[in-house]
Amino acid sequence: MEYVNKRFLLDKRPVGMPQDDCWKLSDETINSLNKNEIIIEVKFLSIDPYMRGRMNDSKSYAAPAKIGEPMTGETAGVVVESNSELFNVGDMVCAHKGWQTYIKAKDTDPALLKVPESKIGLSSFLGTLGMPGRTAYFGLNRVGKPKSGETLVVSAASGAVGAVVGQLGKIYGCNVIGIAGGPEKCAYVRDVLNFDDCIDYKAGNLNDDLKNACPNGIDIYFENVGGPVSRAVAPLLNDGSRVPICGFISQYNEQDMMNVETPFHVFGSLDPKPEHRFFVVTEWMNEWEHATQEILKLVESEKMKYRETITKGFENAPQALRDVLTGKNFGKQIIEI
């Protein structure tokens, strides 16, 4: 069989918001399969905030995306051809292989993860049951270390990571306050995800609203956004508080990150300092399957809810990334190929 693989190659590094000319759409033909190789037809592409950072050529926790190579990203698809004893045709697989529509890979490639059998849609394994869900699970449990009765504040609360953090917090017995942008997202966080409250940072009273929602201070702050939200949280942190820093999306398009006030500046200047650190989900790679199974049980028993924004068409990936960086998406942003 011959497959035409459409790929978005990184063509240049962006300044500020990434425009369409940062990528080049390119076709390649895949037709040969060596021993122990498979071909995956990609059905869904994940769009995540961290992708913006990978487009820069600067020091970071992960190597930058290379010019002329497929843009970094996770995908989910189905094995359409197999010369492997580990994968059968029809198997569903998540692959961390970048923005492309067909993937030829070695069956032992660590970037492949077989999707467990379930009634849950495949796209969910890029969101709640994928990297964002695992990020929430490990960030909260291993860095946040929640105890029943504590106050947990989650920024970007309606997003793919924040929604899982807050719902886990409720399951663990915490008082959970979300922060989100706009009345619709806040209503969803309160009424559907059942957080105790949700503050609209766009309403103009962030500091007072947060103070009123957290009369006993804040024990855990799960950081996703940075900027004014970090500054509003900082004075409310209790002694012994923990701040897992997952990201700071409000600052990802800054041209000079060296001169930006990041959450590390905000929380590092406090006295006493809260326990705070940046973490990345690959620290617990050997436990990914366990975490996915734990979250899958919660989703199947309807104790964990989620929402997706699904945009049809591979060619819409660049715009979808801009939507994520400006908060236009609601829940997890997915491209359906």
Do 138 and 276 share a structural domain? yes
Tell me what percent of the chain is helix, strand and coil, each rounded to the nearest 5.
Answer: 35, 30, 40
Kindly list the distances between the CA atom of residue 178 and the CA atoms of 40, 87, 157, 236, 307, in Å, as whole numbers in the listed order. Answer: 38, 41, 5, 15, 16
Name the amino acid, one letter, at 147.
K
Domain count, the chain: 2
Same-domain check for residues 40 and 142? no
Instruction: Look at strands 237-245 and 275-278 and give their pairing.
Output: parallel
Give pLDDT tens digits for 58-68.
Answer: 877 788 999 99
**Assigned domain for 293 exists:** no
pLDDT of residue 63: 86
Q: What is each CA distance from 37 to 2, 31, 111, 145, in whole angstroms?
A: 15, 12, 13, 41
What domain range includes position 44?
A: 3-127+307-336
Site of tokens 């490639």: 109
Query: For residue 88, what is the domain's CATH number?
Result: 3.90.180.10
pLDDT in tens, 251-307: 888 877 677 899 999 999 999 999 999 999 999 999 999 999 999 999 999 999 999
Residue 22 lies in a domain: yes
Note the Cα 285 to chain centre separation in Å.
15
Tokens, residue 272: 């006493």
Backbone angles phi, psi at 69, to 5 degrees: -115, 160
Based on the fold, state whether residues 135 and 118 are members of the same structural domain.
no
Q: Check whether residue 260 and residue 137 sit in a common domain.
A: yes
Residue 45: helix, strand or coil by DSSP? strand
- The answer to whether position 297 is within a domain reads no
Query: What whole-number distance in Å separates Cα of residue 100 and Cα of residue 27?
Result: 9
Model confidence pLDDT, tens digit, residues 89-100: 999 999 999 999
Task: Check: CB of residue 148 under 8 Å from CB of residue 180.
Answer: no
Q: Is residue 144 domain-shared with residue 115, that is, in the same domain? A: no
pLDDT value at residue 257:
67
**Which residues in the chain come in under a pLDDT of 70?**
257
Question: Is 263 in a helix, a strand, or coil?
Answer: helix
Residues 170, 117 within the same domain: no
- 22 and 163 share one domain: no
Q: Which of 100, 31, 47 is nearest to 69 (CA)?
A: 100
What three-state secondary structure class fits 202?
A: helix
Find residue 92's DSSP bridge partners.
78
**For residue 290, is it within any domain?**
no
Q: For residue 22, which of 9, 30, 32, 12 has the smallest C-alpha distance?
A: 12
Tell if the pTM clears 0.85, that is, is over it: yes
Of 265, 282, 299, at which residue does a domain stop? Answer: 282
Per-residue model confidence (pLDDT) at position 336: 98
